[in-house]
Amino acid sequence: MASIDIKNVRKDFGPVSVLKGVDLAIASGEFAVLVGPSGCGKSTLLRLIAGLEDASSGEIHIGGRRVDDLPPRDRDIAMVFQSYALYPHMNVRDNMGYSLRLKRTPQARIAEIVGRAGAKLGLEALGERKPRELSGGQRQRVAMGRAIVRNPKAFLFDEPLSNLDARMREQMRFEIRKLHRDLGATSVYVTHDQIEAMTMADRIVAMNAGIIQQVGTPLELYDDPANVFVAGFIGSPAMNFLSGEARRGETGVALSVGGKAFCTLSQAVAVPEDGRVTIGIRPERIRIGVGAGQVVEAAADLVETTGAASVVHVDLAGQAMKIFTTERLQLTQGQRIPLAIDAKDVCLFDPAGGGRLR
């Protein structure tokens, strides 16, 4: 177990700058999830930690030791690849025991450690099988097993669940978390799936275009996003964004959308000169009906239901908005519905830079 410290790390591939100065401290024992859209540099950052790529500049420390110049084998980390990267010509037991064999661990000891890891992952019956004779979920487990027999300082996961079907993914998500609870090892988990990030992380590191956008607990990112990117990336259905206007009044900042009053914020907010703002509000924070907050009127468009809940698409002064509700509604297209908006659920963003207005 060890902390991981990344200091001002940059990575260029030729003229392309993939990581543009990353600073990140991951505490010992923490389960950190790197999340961001495809191509934002998550894998590259993970591979830098593993030593599979060299940083163009900056420092990487694992357990207080600077590792930039160490080859992967001396960094004492384990990695689970998206493709699993199981050795095709070795059976499950040899795949899991390979690292121990390289360390010249006695045969009996290898058998014991591999046996214990196999039992933990439910692989007891599969020891003799080759990777090609395993299902996707089983391969995934073998890859996990290969990592845990190492008893490494840190685990690195690169989208380990993306080749599984939805049901299997849900189960492995749970199992990886449980494994982490048992082993307590520092883990860095890369995914592009914000639901994985939300459900698994102690702390989420949201990345976009080679820059860390925000670091925090899942609920911090959810409730208090630092910018439009994080607000839009975290949460499903995604946060509604409306372009509106803000005007300072006696009772606070009055927001309007398409000339119609939206709500009034009581707290002080730094509003841009021209008053143009992006208003963000989560779909489940909007209530249909007349309530305590301010009321705006919208036109119903379409209802999508999953049984447990429904997403109502509405039109508010020409802008599309989604509402998430567990009520079962019968709405016809164009029907006028009142929406209750609570001012404390509203986030304001700068339409130019995307930063949060506070």
Partner 1 sequence: MRGSPRVRLVKWSLHYGVLLLFVVAALFPLYWLVKISLTPNDSLYTHSIDLWPATISLEHYATVIGNSDFLLFFRNSVIVSGVTAIASTLLAAASGYAFSRFVFRGRYWIVGVMLVTQMFPLVIVITPIFSIFGPLGLTNSLMGLIIIYTAFNIPFATFLMQSFFDGIPKELEEAAMIDGATRFKALLQIIAPLTLPGIAATMGFCFTGAWGEILFALLLNSAASTSTFPVGLLLYSTRATIEFGPMMAAGVLALLPVCIFFFLIQRYLVQGLTAGAVKG
Q: Could you say whether residue 139 binds partner 1 (CB under 8 A)? A: yes
Question: Residue 111 binds which one of Mg ion, ligand ADP, partner 1, none, with CB within 5 to 8 A depending on kind?
Answer: none
Q: Could you say whether residue 44 binds ligand ADP (CB under 6 A)? A: yes
Q: Could you say whether residue 93 binds ligand ADP (CB under 6 A)? A: no
Q: Could you say whether residue 89 binds partner 1 (CB under 8 A)? A: yes
Question: Residue 18 binds which one of Mg ion, ligand ADP, partner 1, none, with CB within 5 to 8 A depending on kind?
Answer: ligand ADP
Q: Which residues contact 266 (CB under 8 A, 6 or more apart)?
A: 251, 252, 343
Q: Which two tokens stand for residue 297?
A: 């009127």
Cβ nearer to partner 1, comparing 165 with 274: 165
Among 8, 23, 25, 39, binds ligand ADP (CB under 6 A): 39
Residue 282, SS3 per DSSP: coil
**Element of type H or E holding 319:** strand 319-325
Question: Residue 134 binds which one of Mg ion, ligand ADP, partner 1, none, with CB within 5 to 8 A depending on kind?
Answer: partner 1
Cβ nearer to ligand ADP, comparing 16 with 292: 16
* Cβ(202)–Cβ(221) below 8 Å: no
Q: Which two tokens stand for residue 226?
A: 């630092």
Residues 216-245 that bind ligand ADP (CB under 6 A): none
Cβ nearer to ligand ADP, comparing 38 with 267: 38
Question: Residue 41 binds which one of partner 1, Mg ion, ligand ADP, none, with CB within 5 to 8 A depending on kind?
Answer: ligand ADP
Cis status of the peptide bond prior to 237, with omega within 30 of 0: yes
**Helical spans, DSSP H, in the chain:** 42-50, 92-102, 107-121, 136-148, 166-183, 194-200, 218-223, 228-233
**CA separation for the pair 340, 285 (Å, rounded):** 9
Question: Residue 293 binds which one of partner 1, ligand ADP, Mg ion, none, with CB within 5 to 8 A depending on kind?
Answer: none
Residue 265, SS3 per DSSP: strand
# binding residues, partner 1 (CB under 8 A): 36
CB of 11 to partner 1, least distance (A): 15
Q: Which residues contact 259 (CB under 8 A, 6 or more apart)?
A: 317
Sign, CA torsion 226/230/232/237: negative
Q: Could you say whether residue 185 binds partner 1 (CB under 8 A)? A: no
Can you tell me which residue has the tokens 């089983």? Answer: 138
Question: Residue 83 binds which one of Mg ion, ligand ADP, partner 1, none, with CB within 5 to 8 A depending on kind?
Answer: partner 1
Helical pair 107-121 and 92-102, crossing angle rounded to 10 deg: 130
Q: Could you say whether residue 136 binds partner 1 (CB under 8 A)? A: yes
Q: Which of 75, 55, 105 is nearest to 186 (CA)?
A: 75
CA atoms in the 13 A half-sphere facing the CB of 94 = 9
Q: Which two tokens stand for residue 258?
A: 């398409």
Among 42, 139, 169, 203, binds ligand ADP (CB under 6 A): 42
Among 31, 43, 164, 215, binds Mg ion (CB under 5 A): 43
**Among 40-48, 53-61, 179-187, 250-258, which window interacts with Mg ion (CB under 5 A)?**
40-48
**CA separation for the pair 357, 177 (Å, rounded):** 35
Among 2, 32, 41, 118, binds ligand ADP (CB under 6 A): 41
Cβ nearer to partner 1, comparing 78 with 176: 78
CB of 72 to ligand ADP, least distance (A): 16
Residue 147, SS3 per DSSP: helix
Residues that bind partner 1 (CB under 8 A): 50-52, 71-73, 75, 77-79, 81, 83-89, 98-99, 102-103, 130-137, 139-140, 146, 150, 163-164
